[in-house]
Copies of this chain bind each other. A is one copy, B any other.
Amino acid sequence: MKPTATAVHTTEDSTDTGAQQIRDAIRDAIVERRLSPGTKLSESDVGNLFNVSRTLARAALQALSYEGLVSVEKNRGAFVAYPSPDEARQIFAARRLVEPGILREAAARITPSQIQHLKQLLIAEGRLMSERGQMARRAEIKASGDFHLTLAAISGNAIMQRFMDELVARSSLVIALYGQSTISSCGHSEHGDIVAAIERNDLDEACRLMLHHIAHIEADLDLRERKSVGLKEAFEG
């Protein structure tokens, strides 16, 4: 119930400062779409909200800007990132670029217990899909990303895992902005198909399915510049 976005990791890093907690809290809020793109994140407000000084709030926002989840504009403040259509395309292009490779690495190292873990994830994901309510939707969004993140974790490459963390989080922002269908997450069955392909050791097919899966998510986007809302944003960012 408590684990944050990095719940995928088995070893909690226990990093250096309390700013990380704020960072994770805001990140979760962004990924779960409780914070809309473009929302202003004033340093003072964030500080007051978490009962810390502006120093820590600023550090957290700065950290989030390195992940591409918030954009800080000089002397203007921090905002929840509002990825442009071009940025969105780059995010998915990056995913198409790295996820097959991650999948191959993961499949080469995967253990039976890890396969079991993946299947349990799918079950939980399926259960959330059938539930109703905002809370279930948000949990579903995160669960959907957790599949890809878990694959990255299994691959054993912490660097790629961190990169996927970033890509999945930013994807959530893109979907929030440009997603058309009410289906908040990607096709659940496609995840299952991928696991099945991994299980029978058909890597080429698994990669093909993964690429198809990513393309499927991207196809649900309407990557045209926003018109009504954009009138203001068009000149700000």
* Interface contact B16-A90, CB-CB below 8 Å: no
| Nearest CB in chain B: distance from A38 CB, A | 18
Chain B nearest CB from A129 CB (Å) reads 29
- A15 x B94 contact (CB < 8 A): no
Can you tell how many copies of this chain the complex includes?
Answer: 2
Interface size on A, residues (CB 8 A): 31
A75 CA to B158 CA in the complex, in Å?
A: 24
Cβ-defined partner of A157 (8 Å) among B59, B93, B156, B159: B93
**A74 neighbours in B (Cβ, 8 Å):** 14-17
Q: Is A221 in the interface zone, CB < 8 Å from B?
A: no
Among candidates B59, B68, B156, B160, residue contacting A62 with C-beta atoms closer than 8 Å: B59
A102 at the interface (CB under 8 A from B): yes
Cβ A90 vs Cβ B15 within 8 A: no
Chain B nearest Cβ from A148, distance in angstroms: 15
Verify if A187 is at the interface (C-beta below 8 Å from B).
no
* Chain B residues within an 8 Å CB radius of A72: 16
Q: Pick 20 A–B contacts, CB within 8 A, sort by A.
A: A14-B74, A15-B74, A59-B59, A62-B62, A62-B63, A63-B66, A68-B159, A90-B157, A90-B158, A90-B160, A93-B105, A93-B159, A94-B157, A94-B159, A97-B101, A97-B102, A97-B160, A101-B101, A159-B167, A163-B163
